[in-house]
Amino acid sequence: MVVARKEKTAGPVGQSVLRNDVLEKATGAAVYTDDIQFGPGLLFARVKRSPVPHGILKKVDVSKALALPGVKCVVTGKDYPDLMGLYLKDRATFAVDRVRFIGEPVAAVAAVTEEIAEAALDLIELEIEELPAVFDPELGAQKGAPLLHPDLENYVHPNFIFPEPGTNISNHFKIRRGDVEAAWPKCAAIVETKVRVPHIQHVPIETHVAVALADDKGKVTLWSSTQSPFAQRAMLAKTFHVPESDMRVIATYVGGGFGCKAGVTMEAIPIALALKVKGHPVKFRLTREEEFYTNFVRQGLILNLKVGCDKDGNLLAMENTMYWDGGAYTEYGVNVTRAGGYSSTGPFDIPNVKTDSICVYTNHPSGGPYRGFGMSELHTGLLQVMDMLAEKIGMDKVEFLKKNVIQGGDTVATGMTMHETGIKECVDKVAAAIDWGKKEAPTAPNKLRGKGIAVMWKAPAMPPNAGSSAIVKMNSDGTLDVSIGGQEIGQGTFTAMAQIAAQTLGMPYDAVRVSGPIDTKYSPYEWQTVASRLTWSMGNAVRLAAQDARQKILNLVAEAWKEDPKDLDIQDGVVISYKSEESIPVKDFVVYGLPKENDQGWIGGPIVGTGSFMPTYVTGLDPETGQGPRAVVHYTTGAQAVDIEIDKETGRLEVLRAAAAFDVGKAINPDLVAGQIEGGFVQGMSSAMFEGAMLENGVWRNPSFVDYRIATTMDVPPKIDAMFVETAQDDGPYGARGVGEHPMVPTIAALANAIKDATGVRITNPPFSAEKIYLALVDAGIVK
């Protein structure tokens, strides 16, 4: 199609879209770019949402909306009452008999334009009997709190999630190790504190968007900006009673994820409509405001901590009670709570531990996966407490951390033996990078300067049997196709997989083509693109697939040359013999094979290698003590340190220098590792300094970039030292572990500790806004 000119014009709901003038002249109507891809039968979806945080849904009258010209379909919870959820099936596509948060979908409209669909929403009549709501997870966990999910006992969940029916507690993870009560009298110093960490949004630049199409045979195709095409396929197929083989998910390019595009959020809505208007694709796009208050958020946390050490700084005991604000539906959030529970000590060797990690239903937006998966929130409190303990006993904070961090061979709080880790080296690296121990003069008389440090750990938070698979297909032009099911979301996983395949096969990197987009009909299975697990898990699958293809190539050539495959190698795309010194490019035979002697036929054929990987060694934990042989596959550890200044006249915090080091096992691509470390620090800094949901009686008061600020390039420190340590992981490809989420985990705590060092004032609860810091300086008498 030849397009003479394109111009921007006002599109549905004021959005800017491209209009194709050639098609407009030919048809007499404006044609949007979506029409070109999905055809003129494309319909647009909008959603009627609950205006109250909690209530009984007594009536949903859609008759007037259905009568509006241009409306093709309206669906409600009565049409699709089945529950779905990744770890706890507690959520329907639309509210059925009760609404539980402001913004919960109640009905959806499909119409020929987005404007008509929006207008139809005003014609849907709701009758809701309001009920008392829960907005504080600590209060919501108590007996007598308004009950949000009376049917909790009937919800389906795996055996590692522990709901408490008859309460608002959807998961209660416990650790009981040693005897904390007997340990307290032995402590020379004890710190006890409460820390509150707010909800924040992922704010991907691309909001959620999906297009669904159901054909006349009931087969469904979903085009989705997703981190979880295979998980979506499984969950949606069950929800809508479609055979999984008839549910196809095509994962388009993702314009930012950070966890919010994992699992299923809004993607069920266009499918619900498409099944009612078969043959018409239905598009649903969240507005920026909807992205804030109707989608997954990072859970809020109330953290009650008590930690003690002896006079020499050895940690003796910890009591950690966490109330996670899981929101209205905790189908994913229950696993955040579990991860917070088994990692509740942080990367420290503590002999006596009592942990209660409690996921609580509230009438806030649903909590879900966010980069770090609960670890940023946990470490925000824990690493401030460690800073306070070091101060109490008069010990250098770097030395205190190094004395207490977990080491290979130590037993972690769940009973697992810790693998080798380079966390002490990480601490040394970041301390040296900011000249720890050297008091720096502020750059101006009106400024205060300080330094802070924090350490971290994080394990891949996933079921014990999360698997990966890969296919390597050789081509006759000397290239190879690598098919995987993991999604590229900007972290560079396609590059890393290409490197692993090339290294394993002995092929040039430039010869590798990673197939995309991910399509559940054609791509090999991958659990999800979450948990910083792809380099490790999918990398193992790719390496095994490449090894399979490599062995087939060597066996084929060995048969043709009558040699032992052990005497052959592949280098730069050429098979060579160390014995006969023969050589042959792989492109000459990997599809068409090699002739036998004397023209007596052929051997070989198209070379295809397959590989799959699943950890088989993660064990269950006792529900009352949290003890078991192996709670997780591994931990990635690391450290961060910052050098900051605070303007006494404004309270503005500026990061002058930042240093971060992580033990990645093996850096498959050092540049990508450095990019993850730098980007993670900036995102962590953003959550520490600026971000926080302003929730008031269930209403999100700052659902736009006007009032919800995130860090920009203007806030990035002039110097970020991104470093790594390589202590090989025994089950990782070439020893590699993941490092995608970890760089933002210790940042809030490091900045909080630096603020204390600069001002003498401890501000425990983020965000550390200029206003909050300034008022704290006033209260402390530092500023008059």
Q: Which residue, 747, 729, 773, is CA-closest to 677?
A: 747
Q: How far apart are CA 456 and CA 743, in angstroms?
A: 9
Q: How far apart are CA 272 and CA 264, in angstroms?
A: 13
Q: In sequence order, what are the beta bridge partners of 310?
A: none
Question: Residue 424 CA to chain centroid, in angstroms?
Answer: 27
Q: How far apart are CA 309 and CA 318, in angstroms?
A: 9
User: Would you list the DSSP string of 123-165?
Assistant: T-EEEEEE------HHHHTSTTSPPS-TTGGG----TT---BT
Q: How far apart are CA 436 and CA 430, in angstroms?
A: 8
Which DSSP category does 568 fall into? E
Catalytic residue among 104, 377, 425, 741: 741
- The enclosing H or E element of 773 equals helix 770-779
| HSE toward the beta carbon, residue 340, CA cutoff 13 A | 37
Beta carbons of 461 and 527 less than 8 angstroms apart: no
Residue 473: phi, psi to the nearest 5?
Answer: -120, 125
Q: How far apart are CA 294 and CA 208, in angstroms?
A: 11
Q: In sequence order, what are the beta bridge partners of 351?
A: none
Q: How far apart are CA 338 and CA 332, in angstroms?
A: 10
Most distant pair of Cα atoms in the chain: their distance: 98
Pairing of strands 282-285, 300-309: unpaired
Beta carbons of 323 and 384 less than 8 angstroms apart: no
Q: 3-state class of 412 per DSSP? A: coil
Beta carbons of 691 and 200 less than 8 angstroms apart: yes
Cis-peptide, bond into residue 767, ω within 30° of zero: yes
741 catalytic, yes or no? Answer: yes
Q: Which amino acids are annotated catalytic?
A: 741
